[in-house]
C-alpha cells in the first residue's frame, strides 16, 4: 500500500510503500515492477531506493517521462492509501559485501535511487574504504536528498558527496560544475582499484562507463543500471489479426 507520496524534484515523485503481508526480501540495488494491469497501466521497472528494513517499507523514486504511461499514472493518479501490486525483486545491480575497495558511485536524476540503497546498506554495515558519490543535476532543484547526503558525510568520515550542476550554477554554489564524464579525470587519476556503480539514463551510464574505463576501472568491478525505456507489449491491430486468421 502507498503510505506516502512526496514530490522530491519538479520531475521526481517518491513513493513509500508498505506490505500488507510479509516484507519482500531483496538485495540493495535491485528493482521491482510496478503498474496496474486492470487500469491498463503497464508494469515498469523501478529501483528500490532504500536498504531493507524490518517493517518492509520500500521507497521508489519515479521520474515523469514526457507522455510516459506508467510514470504519468504514478505522478497524477497514485495517492496515499492506494493498494498496489509489486512484482520482484529483480536485477543484479548489487554490491558484493565481501569486496573491500574504494567505491565510486555516479548518478543522475532518479538514477540516485539504487545508489541510495547500496550506499545506505554499505555505510550501515560499517564499510571502511572511501565511498564517493557523484550526483549530477541540471539545477539545484534536481539535487534531492542533499540533507541525507550531508548527514551521511557528517556521520561517516569515509563518505564523500560531490554534487555537480550541468546548468548555470547559482551565486554562492560551492559544488562542482559540468558533466560527470568530463569531470572524472580531474577528480581521479586512476580507478583500477575502485568498485564503480553507475545508474541513470542509458546515455548517462554509457558516458560515465567510458570515462571510468579510460581511467583504468576494471570490468569485473564495474556495475551499471541503465534505465532503459520499456515499451508496452505490442498487440497487432484487429484487422491484421483477421488477415492472419483468414
Ligand atoms: C532496471 C531498470 C530500473 C529502473 N528504475 C527506475 C527508477 O528507479 N526510476 C525511474 O523513474 N525510472 C526507472 N526506470 C525506467 C522505468 O522503468 C520506465 O521506463 C519509465 O518510468 C518510463 O515509463 P513510462 O511508462 O512512463 O513511459 P513509456 O510509456 O514507456 O514511454 C513514453 C515515452 O517516454 C520515453 N521514455 C521512456 N523512458 C524513458 C527514459 N528512461 N528516458 C527518456 N525517455 C524515456 C519513451 O521513449 C516514450 O517516448 C528503470 C528502468 C530499468 C530497466
Contact 12, 110 (CB under 8 A): yes
Share of the chain above pLDDT 90, in %: 90
Torsion of CA 138, 140, 144, 146, to 10 degrees: 130
> Is 93 touching ligand 1 by the criterion CB < 6 Å?
no
Atom from ligand 1 closest to the CA of residue 72: 26
> What pLDDT shows up at residue 244?
44
Between 243 and 33, the more confident residue is: 33
Q: Please give the model's pTM, rounded to 2 decimal places.
A: 0.93
> Is 84 touching ligand 1 by the criterion CB < 6 Å?
no
Contact 220, 193 (CB under 8 A): no
Atom from ligand 1 closest to the CA of residue 74: 26
Query: Could you give the CA distance from residue 138 to residue 65 in angstroms, rounded to a whole number?
Result: 16
| CA-proximal residue: ligand 1, atom 46 (nearest) | 229
For the segment 159-171, what is each residue's pLDDT rounded down to a tens digit? 999 999 999 999 9
> Is 30 touching ligand 1 by the criterion CB < 6 Å?
no
> What pLDDT shows up at residue 245?
43
In CATH, what is the architecture of 103-226?
3-Layer(aba) Sandwich (3.40)
Quote the ligand 1 centre to 101 CA distance (angstroms).
Answer: 32
| CA-proximal residue: ligand 1, atom 10 (nearest) | 62
The residue whose grid cell reads 507520496 is 5
Helix 112-124 to helix 146-155 angle (10° resolution) is: 20
For the segment 121-144, what is each residue's pLDDT rounded down to a tens digit? 999 999 999 999 999 999 999 999
Quote the ligand 1 centre to 11 CA distance (angstroms).
Answer: 13
Cis (ω within 30 of 0) for the bond into 89?
Answer: yes
Quote the ligand 1 centre to 140 CA distance (angstroms).
Answer: 23
Query: Could you give the CA distance from residue 244 to residue 92 in angstroms, rounded to a whole number?
Result: 40
For the segment 77-97, what is each residue's pLDDT rounded down to a tens digit? 999 999 999 999 999 999 887
| CA-proximal residue: ligand 1, atom 39 (nearest) | 229
The domain locations on the chain are 2-90, 103-226
Query: What is the fold of 2-90?
Result: Elongation Factor Tu (Ef-tu); domain 3 (2.40.30)
> What pLDDT shows up at residue 238?
57
For the segment 231-246, what is each residue's pLDDT rounded down to a tens digit? 655 555 655 545 444 3
> Is 229 touching ligand 1 by the criterion CB < 6 Å?
yes
Q: What's the mean pLDDT when you consider all of the chain?
A: 93
> What pLDDT shows up at residue 137?
98
Contact 149, 133 (CB under 8 A): yes
For the segment 2-29, what is each residue's pLDDT rounded down to a tens digit? 999 999 999 999 999 999 999 999 999 9
Atom from ligand 1 closest to the CA of residue 91: 1
Cα angle vertex 189, ends 183, 192, to 5°? Answer: 115
Amino acid at each position: 500500500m502507498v503510505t506516502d507520496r512526496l514530490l522530491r524534484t519538479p520531475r521526481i515523485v517518491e513513493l513509500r510503500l508498505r506490505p500488507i503481508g510479509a516484507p519482500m526480501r531483496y538485495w540493495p540495488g535491485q528493482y521491482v515492477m510496478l503498474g496496474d494491469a486492470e487500469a491498463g497501466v503497464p508494469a515498469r521497472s523501478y529501483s528500490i531506493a532504500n536498504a531493507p528494513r524490518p517493517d518492509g517499507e520500500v521507497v521508489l523514486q519515479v521520474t515523469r517521462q514526457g507522455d510516459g504511461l506508467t510514470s504519468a499514472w504514478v505522478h497524477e493518479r497514485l495517492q496515499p492509501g492506494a493498494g498496489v501490486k509489486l512484482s520482484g525483486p529483480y536485477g543484479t545491480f548489487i554490491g558484493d559485501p565481501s569486496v573491500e575497495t574504494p567505491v565510486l558511485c555516479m548518478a543522475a536524476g532518479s538514477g540516485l535511487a539504487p545508489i541510495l540503497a547500496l550506499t545506505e546498506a554499505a555505510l550501515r554495515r560499517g564499510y571502511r574504504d572511501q565511498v564517493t558519490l557523484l550526483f549530477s543535476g541540471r539545477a539545484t532543484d534536481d539535487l534531492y536528498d542533499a540533507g541525507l547526503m550531508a548527514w551521511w558525510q557528517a556521520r561517516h568520515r569515509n563518505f564523500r558527496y560531490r554534487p555537480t550542476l550541468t546548468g548555470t550554477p547559482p551565486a554562492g554554489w560551492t559544488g562542482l560544475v559540468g558533466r560527470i564524464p568530463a569531470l572524472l579525470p580531474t577528480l581521479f587519476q586512476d580507478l583500477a582499484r575502485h568498485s564503480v556503480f553507475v545508474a541513470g539514463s542509458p546515455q548517462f551510464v554509457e558516458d560515465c562507463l567510458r570515462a571510468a574505463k579510460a581511467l583504468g576501472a576494471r570490468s569485473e568491478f564495474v556495475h551499471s543500471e541503465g534505465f532503459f525505456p520499456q515499451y508496452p507489449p505490442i498487440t497487432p491491430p484487429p484487422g491484421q489479426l483477421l488477415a492472419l486468421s483468414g
